[in-house]
Amino acid sequence: MEINDRGRLALGGCDLVDLAETYDTPLYAYDEAALRAACRRYRDALAGAWDDGLVVYAAKAFLVLAMARLVAEEDLGLDVVSGGELHTALRAGFPPERIYFHGNNKAPWELAAALEHGVGRVVVDNLDELALLSKLAGGRDRPAPIALRVTPGVEADTHAHLRTGHNDSKFGLRLSTGEAYRAVELALDEPGLDLVGLHAHIGSQIMDLAPFTAAARTMVAVAAEVRRHTGWTPAELNLGGGLGVPYLPGERAPTPEDFVATVALAVGEACDGAGLPRPRLVLEPGRSIVAPAAVALYRVGAVRELNGDRVMVAVDGGMADNPRPTLYGARYQVVPAGRPRDPAAVSTTVVGRYCESGDVLARNVPLPRLQRGEVVAFLAAGAYQVAMASNYNRFPRPAVVFCCGGRSRLVQARETLDDLLARDRL
Ligand code: LLP
């Protein structure tokens, strides 16, 4: 937590009360140097642990043009999951060969766009998509480089909505049914496709490294098995993202360095044990790059005293700009931006302004007595908030700024009331 010489909360050298004044609230403010530092930490950690590796930022966590450009400048790859994310990346000048196109039900037009722009990998999720892509890719000059997403059958200890590696997952080709092996055979037979590697992603907000080790070992075993059957050796192994971040004081998560070293060790040992050449290693962190780098700023409106010396305050945002508490029971550290060091005085529940009882951003947090008009900051707000924001109740979505060296710049304007009407027709 950065506190400036006025005793107020700051980010990238910018005073957060001033930012709220300048840009209005709700506001998402990102520390640009922290974003770049997080990209570099991952890149350096992988370069130190593995000969040939690539860190691919998972755009679904947060993507605007400025973020796509920053990721390109930091030499990372980009994981996109839709024609919209792809379009954003390309408009930002992101090199297509470093784009990985994911998704469990890509539309024909999205696959066609991926082929037309020459994305680095289409990560094929299922047999149906493999057939569709084969058809679209047939007859082109160059075979399309693909990877196959495999469901490794690994259970990660995280919220049920954030698990993707188990056998009932809606993502990927199952090992348990033999589907994954069948997909390899089919892909190798397709002249329009160039099967480069295998992919797995076990889930998100994972605070323990053991499931990553398990998934790495499983995937190397799959690679070895595939080689025995087909003679094909994956040149690339992509083990996805999923590293958790601390949201509350006292929570601890493994560092990106721990995560990278653990995965690299597991893949290295398993490859050596199986007599498999070491593949290019790809990792796809999203949350752990962007979550810690941003705060969400709200202004306090209605204050209500509750029985038992509890207080409820309503802020000018809520579940439409941050659905995570409602969807996953996510919890946050809340700080009064103008007086971060003031001692807690009362148990406070922070609710949003949307017409829904579940619109509670933080429950029973010890805080100073908040006043109408004061600015509160939710910390570690950089991942899956702006990205998941909606227009519920027809509220305009918040503005987003990047802060660096005490200066701020708007990277996504606040929606206007007319923006809300732009797609309506009478
Ligand atoms: N790669 C793939 C294939 C993914 O599906 C995801 C996230 C990532 C990488 C990045 O995972 P991360 O490092 O960010 O954990 N909306 C939820 C999170 C959904 C994650 C979806 N996939 C939330 O707010 O917690």
Q: pLDDT by residue (tens digit) across 65-121?
A: 999 999 999 999 999 999 999 999 999 999 999 999 999 999 999 999 999 999 999
Task: Give yes or no: residues 205 and 133 share one domain.
Answer: yes
Give the integer Cα–Cα distance in Å for 104 and 80: 12
Confidence bin at 410 (pLDDT 50/70/90): very high
- Could you tell me what percent of the chain has a pLDDT over 70? 100
The CATH number assigned to the domain holding 401 equals 2.40.37.10
Task: Give yes or no: residues 71 and 213 share one domain.
Answer: yes
Confidence bin at 167 (pLDDT 50/70/90): confident
- Kindly give the number of the ligand 1 atom that is closest to the alpha carbon of 385: 24
pLDDT at 156 over 90: no
pLDDT at 309 over 90: no
**Best of 76, 148, 287, 390 for a ligand 1 pocket test (most atoms within 8 Å of beta carbon):** 287
Task: Give yes or no: residues 360 and 255 share one domain.
Answer: no
Residue 225: predicted pLDDT: 92
Q: Whose CA is nearest to atom 20 of ligand 1?
A: 204
pLDDT at 15 over 90: yes
Q: Residue 150: what are its φ and ψ, rounded to 5°?
A: -110, 140
**Residue 228: is it exposed, middle or buried by C-beta count within 10 angstroms (0-12/13-18/19+)?**
exposed
Residue 179: predicted pLDDT: 92
Residue 36 belongs to some domain of the structure = no
Q: Which two tokens stand for residue 416?
A: 């206007």
Residue 164: predicted pLDDT: 72
Task: Give yes or no: residues 89 and 227 share one domain.
Answer: yes
Start-to-end CA span in the chain (Å): 49
C-alpha angle 100-101-102 in degrees, rounded to nearest 5: 115
Residue 128: predicted pLDDT: 97
Is-cis flag, bond preceding 396, omega within 30? Answer: no
Q: Which residues pair with 78 in a beta bridge?
A: 57, 99
**What is the tens place of the pLDDT at every residue in 350-373?**
999 999 999 999 999 999 999 999
Residue 313 belongs to some domain of the structure = yes
Structural domains counted in the chain: 2
**Residue 188: is it exposed, middle or buried by C-beta count within 10 angstroms (0-12/13-18/19+)?**
middle
Task: Give yes or no: residues 96 and 223 share one domain.
Answer: yes
Question: Which of 285, 311, 330 is where one domain is finished?
Answer: 285
Task: Give yes or no: residues 93 and 233 share one domain.
Answer: yes
- Kindly give the number of the ligand 1 atom that is closest to the alpha carbon of 159: 25
- Kindly give the number of the ligand 1 atom that is closest to the alpha carbon of 286: 14
Residue 163: predicted pLDDT: 73
Q: Whose CA is nearest to atom 6 of ligand 1?
A: 241
Tell me the CA–centroid distance for residue 241 and ligand 1, in Å: 7
Residue 224 belongs to some domain of the structure = yes
Q: Of the residues 14, 271, 355, 404, which is catalytic?
A: 355
pLDDT at 162 over 80: no
Tell me the CA–centroid distance for residue 231 and ligand 1, in Å: 33
Residue 298: predicted pLDDT: 99
pTM of the model as a whole:
0.97
Give the integer Cα–Cα distance in Å for 292 and 381: 7
Task: Give yes or no: residues 189 and 83 share one domain.
Answer: yes
Tell me the CA–centroid distance for residue 185 and ligand 1, in Å: 29
Tell me the CA–centroid distance for residue 291 and ligand 1, in Å: 12
Residue 35 belongs to some domain of the structure = no
Catalytic site residue 271? Answer: no
Residue 40 belongs to some domain of the structure = no
Residue 106: predicted pLDDT: 98
Give the integer Cα–Cα distance in Å for 402 and 301: 26
Q: How many of the other CB atoms lie within 10 Å of CB of 51? A: 9
Q: Which residues contact 190 (CB under 8 A, 6 or more apart)?
A: 130, 134, 137, 138, 143
Residue 173: predicted pLDDT: 94
**What is the tens place of the pLDDT at every residue in 218-252?**
999 999 999 998 899 999 999 999 999 999 999 99
Residue 387: predicted pLDDT: 98
The CATH number assigned to the domain holding 201 equals 3.20.20.10
Tell me the CA–centroid distance for residue 59 and ligand 1, in Å: 9
Task: Give yes or no: residues 355 and 396 share one domain.
Answer: yes
Task: Give yes or no: residues 227 and 155 share one domain.
Answer: yes
What's the mean pLDDT in 326-332? 97
What's the mean pLDDT in 342-353? 97
pLDDT at 183 over 80: yes
Question: Which of 285, 316, 344 is where one domain is finished?
Answer: 285
Question: Which of 240, 266, 285 is where one domain is finished?
Answer: 285
What's the mean pLDDT in 33-40? 98
Residue 83 belongs to some domain of the structure = yes
Task: Give yes or no: residues 244 and 114 share one domain.
Answer: yes
Range of the domain at 145: 50-285
Task: Give yes or no: residues 280 and 296 share one domain.
Answer: no
Q: Which protein residues are within 6 Å of ligand 1, measured from CB?
A: 58, 60-61, 79, 102, 162, 201, 204-205, 240-243, 284-288, 324, 328, 384
Confidence bin at 383 (pLDDT 50/70/90): very high
Residue 48: predicted pLDDT: 98
Q: What DSSP line would sit under 200-237, residue for residue?
A: ---BSSB--SHHHHHHHHHHHHHHHHHHHHHS---SEE
pLDDT at 160 over 80: no
What's the mean pLDDT in 263-278? 98
Residue 158: predicted pLDDT: 77
Q: Which two tokens stand for residue 208?
A: 């323990």
Task: Give yes or no: residues 274 and 309 share one domain.
Answer: no
**Average predicted confidence (pLDDT) for the chain:** 96
